[in-house]
Amino acid sequence: MELWTIGAFAKAARLSPKALRLYDELELLVPAHTDPVSGYRRYSQDQLARARLVARLRRVGMPLARIREVCDLPRGEAAKAVSGYWDEVEAEQQQRRDIVRFLVETLSEGSTMLPVAVREMPARTLICSLRHVTSAEINDFTVEMVVRLGDGTVPGLAGMEGAPFFIYHGEVDEDSDGPIEWCRPIPDEAAEAMAARFPDLTIRQDPAHREAYVRLTRRELSPADGMRAGETLEAWITAQDEVLSPRGPFRQVFFADPRGVTPDTPVSDVIAPLPPLVATAAG
């Protein structure tokens, strides 16, 4: 079998020798032969197809770890994996496009304010999980908790009082990891049993409070709309009396499953908890 030098193979594969050395270290594209004394790498012609696939996938920005997974798949499954990757890229690009539009709107004219409502929430017992996650990891965290506690064996509360929600204790984006707390209300009498069943989760009380909220539809479940809702709540609170300053970090409650509903269906509220009203003595 004829073996090619790294320079000749790099030229045929449309890759640089530097890239080939990296791919060897990552076991993504291992040479057919490496001289044990000189360390010179030699490649075979039948490695060209894999090398060219690697080069093309890098041109569309696929991470090396994911490229290795694609290269090891049968052709049909590899095609589906590439298509799935690009669907994710386009979704991320749409989110970035929305954020850019939001920033341009904010910097030029000021962001559009959304309707704000206020409601009373009773004291509730919560089962919670606190996690450090980035924006890329929050969906997996959500699915994990929904699957774990949504099998029908964990008791819940009816209506808005029983809807699961996130508490954002810190910023969550590509670089910041919160932390964020996933919470699900449960009946008070179930606290002891759930604590024994889920020893890694926290059982705690959420005090009675008022909360200001902005309602979002399925169409509005984007980072840009979340930013707009947060700015709306901050502006609304600033315009109120001092007593209405927030009593805790922002929350987001999900009271409907966004899957299988129309884009205009309300599914979520972005929330700013508020302190109780201060009673005044009659003059």
21: CATH:
1.10.1660.10
Torsions phi, psi of 191, nearest 5?
-60, -45
pLDDT at 116: 95
The pTM assigned to this predicted structure is 0.72
Residues 227 and 130 in one domain: yes
- Residue 41 in any domain: the answer is yes
Q: Say if CB 168 and CB 178 are below 8 A apart.
A: yes
CATH number for the domain that contains residue 141: 3.20.80.10
> For residues 104 and 111, what is the distance between their CA atoms, to the nearest angstrom?
9
Residues 37 and 173 in one domain: no
pLDDT at 246: 54
pLDDT at 242: 46
The one-character DSSP state at 243 is: G
Residues 37 and 155 in one domain: no
Tallying the residues shown for the chain, one arrives at 283
Cβ-based neighbour number of residue 26 at 10 Å = 13
pLDDT at 247: 56
Residues 66 and 135 in one domain: no
The boundaries of the domain holding residue 162 are 117-274
DSSP per-residue letters across 148-174: HH-SS-S---SGGGG--EEEESS-BSS
The one-character DSSP state at 132 is: -
Residues 22 and 131 in one domain: no
Residues 149 and 242 in one domain: yes
- Residue 45 in any domain: the answer is yes
pLDDT at 101: 84
Mean pLDDT by 10 residues, the chain (283 residues): 89 91 92 90 93 92 92 94 94 87 82 88 96 90 92 94 94 87 97 97 94 95 90 87 63 92 96 73 47
